[in-house]
Amino acid sequence: MPEVNTDHLDEQQVQLLAEMCILIDENDKRIGADTKKNCHLNENIDKGLLHRAFSVFLFNTENKLLLQQRSNAKITFPDCFTNTCCSHPLSHPLELEENNAIGVRRAAQRRLKAELGIPMEQVTPEEISYLTRIHYKAKSDGIWGEHEIDYILFVQKDVTLNPDPNEIQSYCYVTQKELKQLLDKAAKNEVKITPWFKLIAETFLFKWWDNLSNLNKFVEHEKIHRM
């Protein structure tokens, strides 16, 4: 694996690069594990390295979507606005369990606490709905990037927030109209958004958002959308 100097990067974020992500093939079958660092190096991604991930979309009871702006300490896509929480299940037994994506949903609960400070008991895995998966690839810069099969997870609940500033520099709840305004600003390069959030917002998000009380009709556990 390539050697990359991380001395100039945020110490807390560099420690997280040692976490073990779940390696998969293009059909989301587990084939092994590797470090978060190796999974996010473009040099490995260009050779086909692919890992499992998730994106949480959390709405409050007013049907507003919680967005976060990633901190400038983040190694990939710093300062970008994105959906509520985006991360990876880890290669340990609780998060490897695949039945109804329970391992991924447990990972989402863990990261909602780590990033946004949402108490574990406020969002349980049972309250997280798994809709579908998307497969995408994106470069953050010349060294770092993403290549993931991303589980799309929805939650609707009022929660308590206490974000970690090393992860998140700002957050806000938005209406559909406000999100469309943010996307317009991003198109003019006035703000930055993550590539996966842009893809999801341009394809599925508003359709799902219109049907928060009836998401079952959009559940596609057999399909992987290639973006």
Is residue 156 helix, strand or coil? strand
Which residues are the active-site residues? 86, 148
Nearest alpha carbon to residue 212 among 175, 159, 160: 175
Q: How far apart are CA 130 and CA 151, in angstroms?
A: 7
The kind and range of the H/E element at 21 are: strand 20-24
Strand runs labelled E in 121-206:
129-139, 145-156, 168-174
Cβ-Cβ contacts under 8 Å for 5 (sequence gap 6 or more): none
In this structure, the number of other CB atoms found within 10 A of the CB of residue 162 comes to: 9
Q: How far is CA 142 from CA 34, 41, 139, 195, in A?
A: 21, 9, 7, 15
